[in-house]
Structure 1
Amino acid sequence: MRVVIVGAGINGLLTARELAKAGVEVMLCDQGELAQQASWAGGGIVSPLYPWRYSPAVTALSQWAQAAYPLLRDELMADVGIDIELLTSGLLFVNTDDARDARVWAQANATTCEVLDADSLRERWPGLAHDAEQGVFFPDIAQVRNPRLLKALIADLQRYPQVQLRSKTAISSVSGAQASHSASVMFTSGELVEADAVIVCAGAWSAKLLPRAAVPVRPVRGQMLQYETAPGTITSMILRDGHYLIPRADGLVLCGSTLEEAGFDNRTTAEARELLEKAAASLWPGLTEQPPVRHWAGLRPGSPNGIPFIGAVPEQAGVWVNAGQYRNGLVLAPASAALISDLVLGRTPRLAAAPYAPMT
């Protein structure tokens, strides 16, 4: 079996890995460099932000993926020697107005959740803003160093002789089954590649290749800042009013993120930098002692209700999609890749597929 995967972000890479492990011949192509879009630009929190506010469809994917990440980490370390820094640092939600909903959700989903008052917060996180009055702490939520994860996956795919990786290879069109072939992609160079299946994992660009009515994915820009601190200065991820801090093991701290309807413009802006600097100060005032060291932007694949599209594209036999994870691409990727691979290979799906079917 031969499969072409369009888009080499986290979903394309993990889908290619799933298929390669099953012995499938895979061509993975991207219009730019491999893994340099939203998957690289994201923060790497291995949980939806405010998980209790999401639909059961997102929860099902995220819980499956969270359980899969430790094995993925171990396999990548053993096979390619790259530590993806999967760190269970926990996530603290500050001054949430629906803490009760968080507790109810945590109990229903067998998730550890601590509700903390102002004194407890200051004792455990002395650098928090002084107006932090209450918190909800999920100690088991992890983070992953997403650029290292992407690097490890590329290195891992290079071990498979039947996998072809093609960067800077733009696609002009995707076609379903015709008399001469099962599916095909046409590159902008004029090259036509036929395959048994084509899987579109092109993130924010997916709707350009597929019927928008079936896969209504749009770009949503997100901007991030990076600060330098001493390792251990901030011990947990912190979220307040939709903005978050992610402390890495080496002391780097990410602050994100914006939500901007800016089309395919992935440039950074002074307005977003100012907004994020204020957000960082409201989360951990000590960060204002020095300016951020980096500022970047990425384009998320926005989708209705944040539920991704995973499955066969209607009226295009042989064409599949795995896109629209919105703010949760890294969170949901292992589960999304497992599901689309099961469907394409005709295996019994490891997760229920119906909630993610493209629209008809």
Structure 2
Amino acid sequence: MNHGPHTLIVGAGAIGLLTALNLAEQGERVTLLDRQLAGREASWAGGGIVSPLYPWRYSAAVTALAHWSQDFYPRLGDELFVRTGLDPQVHVTGLYWLDLDDEAEALAWARREQRPLSAVSLEATYRQVPALAPGFERAIYMADVANVRNPRLVKSLKAALALLPNVTLREHCEVRGFLRNGDAVGGVDTAEGPLRADRVVLAAGAWSGQLLATLGLALPVEPVKGQMILYRCAEDFLSRMVLARGRYAIPRRDGHILVGSTLEHAGFDKTPTDEALHSLVASAEALLPALAKAERVGHWAGLRPGAPDGIPFIGPVGRHPGLWLNCGHYRNGLVLAPASCQLFTDLVAGRTPIIDPAPYAPDARLQVSPGPVS
């Protein structure tokens, strides 16, 4: 029944799920593995802004992926909703940046990249966002920025995969290492035993570096903790996303307001802290004072897969035939997922890729680990 190649994907976050969907749709048999429930790490914990927080501060490599994904997201949301009946809620609100130190650079970037970012008056800003705290002096606005309700995106992707006969999802299946035939990788070793495949894709987020170290390779991806809080407000409380002093507020369609986030190097510790909570509450109330009287309904932490300059690793690992990477998206996994997974699928299929794959190629950026191979 399933005659295509068999691909094992390690990690069932947004990147792994969408990679699986793309490969399955071109006829491959896909087995998706996750150490816990699908999509319960960074893909669940993040805010879901479909833009880097400060897009002009990133390299051309990140910008290329971000632009493609931003333009594609509404279509992806619609297609998943039609297929599954689960709406990822790709919500186009626009985004205000307030009192930026590098506003001139941001506007120059927008002109160069032909993105709809422009300076706006404070009067117009306060008309659109009356809940905004007084005292801000400058604002710039990008009208087409959306946010996606990431837990619902994950549920929708998972439901779409469940409809496909050539996809198997195995949750609570921890991968311990790789099966090798010489240098070639032909499967993975799991807590439930070995699993073999024609191709193995590492999409394990913050845990990707640990797994690749078992092959003696140093992947510069490390966990970077981020904490968020959630408020319940009236549906018309906030109509636009707003960002100031490194913190942002994101409105969902039903009135929930996300405020984030912290940036902490704390290893694999995901424990929410009182210190972060107090800092986030202070930022929330400084940005939107009425939140002081709103019901706070959530506080959580997640681990981003931190990579140098935020540039993900996408493509084959030359010294280990059969092993591919799609990981290391740092703060922009949800933003970059559609483009990253389309680029990955183009490379697997041997098609002309949507963008130049060279900046993401693993071989130029991986190093041999100084430690012994376990």
Instruction: Tell me if TM exceeds 0.5.
Output: yes
Please tell me whether the aligned partners of residues 240 and 251 of structure 2 are also in contact (alpha carbons under 8 angstroms).
yes
Q: CA deviation at 1:344?
A: 2.2
Cα deviation for residue 352 of structure 1 reads: 1.1
Q: Identify if the C-alpha distance between structure 1 residues 171 and 182 changes in structure 2 by more than 3 Å, giving closer, same or farther.
A: closer
The question of whether the paired residues in 1 share the 8 Å contact of 2:233 and 2:295 is answered with: no
Give the Cα separation in 1 of the matches to 2:140 and 2:194: 53
**Aligned residue in 1 for 2:189:** 186
Match of 2:212 in 1: 210
Q: 2: distance between equivalents of 1:283 and 1:59?
A: 28
| Unaligned segments of structure 2, at least 5 residues | 367-374
Any idea what the Cα deviations from partners look like across 1:143-179, whole Å, max 9, x if unmatched? 1111111100000001111100000000010245549
**Is the Cα contact below 8 Å between 2:227 and 2:299 reproduced in 1?**
yes
Q: Structure 1 length as normaliser, TM-score?
A: 0.96
1:320 equivalenced with 2:324 (yes/no): yes
Q: Is the 8 Å Cα contact of residues 215 and 309 (structure 1) preserved in structure 2? A: no
Q: Give 1:205's aligned amino acid.
A: W
Structure 1 counterpart of 2:188, one-letter code = V
Moved more, 201-210 or 67-76: 67-76
**Does the Cα contact within 8 Å between 1:117 and 1:133 map onto a contact in 2?**
no
Q: What is the CA–CA distance in structure 2 between the aligned matches of 1:109 and 1:99, rounded to whole Å? A: 15
2:71 aligns with: 67
Following superposition, the deviation at residue 293 of structure 1 comes to 1.2
Matches within 5 A, 1:7-18: 7-18=11-22
**For residue 317 of structure 1, what is the amino acid of its counterpart?**
P
Secondary structure at the residue paired with 2:168? strand
- 2:12–2:32 contact (8 Å) kept in structure 1: yes
| Structure-2-length-normalised TM-score | 0.93
Q: Does 2:99 correspond to 1:95?
A: yes
Is the 8 Å Cα contact of residues 188 and 194 (structure 2) preserved in structure 1? yes
Alpha-carbon spacing, 1:311–1:147, altered in 2? closer, same or farther (3 Å):
same
The Cα shift of 1:182 comes to: 5.4
Task: Give, as a single letter, the amino acid of the residue that structure 1 aligns with 2:186.
Answer: A
Moved more, 218-227 or 208-217: 208-217
Distance 1:282 1:67 in 2: 32
Residue identity matched to 1:187 = T
Secondary structure class of the residue paired with 1:3: strand
Letter in 2 for 1:203: G
Tell me by how many angstroms 1:116 deviates.
2.4
Stretches of structure 1 that go unaligned for 5 or more consecutive residues are none
Q: Which residue of 2 aligns with 1:2?
A: 6
Find the aligned partners of 1:231 and 1:348 in 2 and give their Cα distance: 44
Q: Distance in 2 between matches of 1:125 and 1:282?
A: 14
1:275-331 deviation digits (Å, cap 9, x = unpaired): 000110121111111352110110000000111111112421110111111000000
Alpha-carbon spacing, 1:11–1:337, altered in 2? closer, same or farther (3 Å): same
For residues 184-240 of structure 1, what are the alpha-carbon distances to aligned partners after superposition, in whole Å with 9 as ceiling and x for unaligned?
A: 101023x11111110000000000111485521000000000001100111100111
Moved more, 144-153 or 336-345: 336-345
CA contact (8 A) 1:204 1:219 kept: yes
Deviation at 1:345, TM superposition (A): 2.7
Name the CA distance, whole Å, in 2 between partners of 1:114 and 1:99: 10
Give the aligned partner of residue 301 of structure 2: 297
Whether 1:27 and 2:26 are equivalent positions in the alignment is: no
Residue 340 of structure 1: which of 340, 344, 349 is its match?
A: 344
The one-letter code sitting in structure 2 at the alignment partner of 1:268 is P
Aligned positions, number: 358
